[in-house]
Structure 1
């Protein structure tokens, strides 16, 4: 298992698509380079913002292969390999290891309700099946299953489970993740909510897997870099600056808004795959206004 430093701002990059919804491979490579040039500390293909929920397994393998090749070991590559069943998750995780991913991000199983013991056994089985670092992914609003702090504590005793991403939006939940894993120095807690990244760092967390980095990579990276340099006020200003953009999320699925914004900024990433691609005209107009205002502020 490679010794990696898991920290900072890791963009869950969008999956660019052509008009026929096929993957735009050249633009995917462009987005990888755009993020690395902005100072991203990792690349995370087919996360929620990468539309993992709607890509076939073959498409995921192709996207991952392209990202690994284009990244060329400049930063770690995180592969989202969580499926509903333990068996499928293990198969996809082994494939990601074979392709050369550095880290696995494993979301909780979804749709069917899972007990904490079932979640523990699921993640434990995957961890035992691969020789790779694993970051747990808690996003109960999307999956219907939350990983409790007590279960994260249990799972942190497994050597290659090295962190957790919390997208619950509940800051106290993330604080508890930090508290219960404090006895393991190499365990990282990452914010999956972009508005909590600075507060995650101030509480002892390690950064964030930040969807807004698709739109404003330099701004998001600056939250982390300014914090690490001791420039707390600059970090706070960067953190606050994404508020108007996040306000546009009321018009649709957040990853639909993010992808539309990237496209409006001149990167031909296309729309999200149907049916998750509708933004009302009022939302498009607000998005255009916010992007223009932020451009005038020098945000990028």
Structure 2
């Protein structure tokens, strides 16, 4: 099994689209290099911000192949391979391994309600079938299923399950994940909520998988780099600086708003796939103001 150090800021990179909703492969390569040049610590294609929910399996593998090829081993590549069924998750995970992924990020099954025992058995079966490091992914608002801290504790005893990303927005849940897995030093907890990255680090977590890094990769990286350098006030300034962007999320789907902001910065990543592609004019105008204010403040 690959040994990968999970840490820092891992962008949940957007999937650039052409006008006909096909993947814009050249712009995907451009965005990979933009992120790496900003100092990010890993890269995560077809996560939530990468529109995994609306990509076909073959599209996911093609995107992964491009990211792996363009990354050239400079940072670890995370692949989101969670499906509703255990069988499908294993199949996609094996395809991702063949395509060169370094780490699997596996979201909980969705739609049908799952018990904690069913979730445990799902992840255990996948882990036994794939010889790769796995990061659990908890985002109950999108999937309808939440990984309880005691389930994460049980799963942390499986060798190749090496971390968990929490996007619940509940900081106490992150704290409980950290407390529940403290006895295993190489198990890492990541924030999936960009506003909680510094606080997760202060509590003993390892960093975050960040959608806002699509807009401000250098700022997001500075949260982590300042923290590890002992510059907590500088890290807090960077953490606080993304608040105005995140306030724009009240207008709709955060993924769509992030992608709109990246376009407004001059990167032709296109729209999200329909029907998740509507941004009200009020949001666009607010984004323009926020992006200009942040540009003048030196945010990149």
Q: TM-score, normalised by structure 2?
A: 1.00
- 1:125 to 2:119 alignment: no
Deviations 1:19-72 (A, max 9, x none): 000000000000000000000000100000000000001100100000000001
Hey, which bits of structure 1, 4+ residues long, moved more than 4 A? none
SS of the residue 2:79 aligns to:
strand
Hey, what does 1:52 align to over in structure 2?
52
Counterpart in the other structure of 2:134: 134
For residues 124-171 of structure 1, give each alpha carbon's deviation from its aligned partner in whole angstroms, at most 9, with x where no partner exists: 010001110000000000000000000000000000000000000000
User: What corresponds to 2:214 in structure 1?
Assistant: 214
Alignment correspondent of 2:176: 176
* In structure 1, C-alpha distance between the alignment counterparts of 2:8 and 2:78, rounded to whole Å: 13
* Corresponding residue number in structure 2 for 1:258: 258
Q: Deviations over 1:76-104 (max 9, x none)?
A: 00000000000000000000011110000
Where in structure 2 are the equivalents of 1:207-246 lying within 5 Å?
207-246=207-246
Provide the aligned length of Structure 1 versus Structure 2. Answer: 300
**1:271 alignment partner in structure 2:** 271
Aligned twin of 2:63:
63
Q: Distance in 2 between matches of 1:36 and 1:98?
A: 23
Alignment-derived partner of residue 148 in structure 2:
148
Aligned to 1:80: 80
CA–CA distance in structure 1, aligned partners of residues 294 and 143 of structure 2: 33
What secondary structure, in the 3-state scheme, does the structure 2 residue paired with 1:178 have? helix
Q: Tell me by how many angstroms 1:257 deviates.
A: 0.4
1:188 aligns with 2:183: no
Residue 287, structure 1, aligned to residue 273, structure 2? no
* Partner Cα distance (1:258, 1:283) in 2: 11
| Secondary structure at 2:9 match in 1 | strand
Whole-angstrom distance in 2 between the partners of 1:5 and 1:150: 24
Is the Cα contact below 8 Å between 2:9 and 2:224 reproduced in 1? yes
**TM-score (norm: length of structure 1):** 1.00
Inter-partner Cα distance in structure 1 for 2:287 and 2:3: 41
User: CA offset at residue 278 of structure 1?
Assistant: 0.5
Query: How many angstroms does 1:4 deviate by?
Result: 1.3
How many Å separate the matches in 2 of 1:124 and 1:138?
Answer: 16
Q: Aligned equivalents of 1:134 and 1:289: distance in 2?
A: 40
Q: Structure 1: 5+ residue runs without aligned partners?
A: none
Other structure's SS at 1:218 match: helix
CA offsets per residue over residues 255-275 of structure 1, 9 Å max, x none? 000000001100000000000
For 1:114 and 1:292, locate their aligned partners in 2 and report how far apart those are by CA, in whole Å.
45
